[in-house]
Chains A and B, each alone.
Chain A
């Protein structure tokens, strides 16, 4: 009996706090990511308005275009939480479908932001053209790398769900990937406001 209880505890990674080690560890990781993006946002804000050569943000940013990509990313978060909901209810097929939508919306976001990058490069804004260019591309590029990593992770989840390796009792695997995806969404909410809207 005691052995069974111990095995269960080890399987779920429970601690005296009642929350699994994975979840505590991942929230700690997210807290550290706040500081990481905080440094990149600080750098952008410090250099904001100090570029001595153009193009300048107000000349090139297409707010409507970015609003659409932002909304796509917001809805990908909704799709993810619905995928988690379906996983917890044992609806494997629906969960996989929602996760496919998340990847599709992530790809749509990257495509739209990629077309923006190409347009900005046409205008002459590159990584080395000005302090604004350096800070902008490093901040938004790091975010896009996070989106790509999230899409790879979700792809792995789809495979595991398809193989039946994530039953409702192990839905925490989907929940933790969701924490990452929602955090990536949160960072974009902040970037959208500070970089694109407040000029």
Chain B
């Protein structure tokens, strides 16, 4: 995969962005991972591992888009913290509600 870097013109930021071919490779990887996800969905032998595998692959796709298409990898670290604050809070909220409504009832509730 080509990871050569071209420099942006003197815009508002002076960081470098990857080349067009690098973006195309990321797009191809995203499409392939989507295909793998759908294959896992249809292969019955994968059923026991389906949910964790799909969540893992989905997370990988999200990370690829954020790091390279949204250029967070090339931005100052504090922007990652700004974004992660929202992601962590949202994940905690979804996780907590899943525990309250789907896990605790199996053990007799709170």
Contacts and interface: CB of A to CB of B under 8 A. Distances in A.
Contacts of B58: 189-190, 192-194
Given A33-B86, A82-B24, 6 more contacts: A14-B12, A31-B87, A64-B38, A178-B70, A186-B66, A189-B65
A17 B78 contact: yes
Q: Is the interface of A mostly helix, strand, loop or mixed?
A: helix
A182 interface: yes
A13 B12 CA distance: 8
Contact of B23 (A12, A82, A179): A82
24 contacts: A12-B11, A19-B76, A23-B13, A27-B82, A31-B86, A38-B94, A45-B94, A46-B102, A77-B27, A78-B27, A78-B30, A80-B69, A168-B10, A168-B11, A169-B9, A171-B9, A172-B12, A172-B13, A182-B65, A189-B62, A192-B34, A193-B58, A194-B58, A198-B55
B9 A82 contact: no
A166 to B, nearest CB: 10
For chain A, which range describes its interface: under 10, 10 to 19, 20 to 34, or 35 or more residues?
35 or more
A177 B101 CA distance: 37
Interface of B: 6, 8-13, 17, 19-20, 23-24, 26-27, 30-31, 34, 37-38, 40-42, 50-51, 54-55, 57-58, 61-62, 65-66, 68-71, 75-76, 78-79, 82-83, 85-87, 89-91, 93-94, 97-98, 101-102
Contacts of A189: 58, 61-62, 65
Nearest to A47: B101
A120 B13 CA distance: 46
B11 A88 contact: yes
Contacts of A90: 9
Interface string A2-32: 0000000000111001111011100110111
B27 A38 contact: no
Nearest to B52: A198
Contacts of B51: 198
A145 interface: no
Given A12-B12, A31-B83, A169-B11, A42 B93 contact: yes
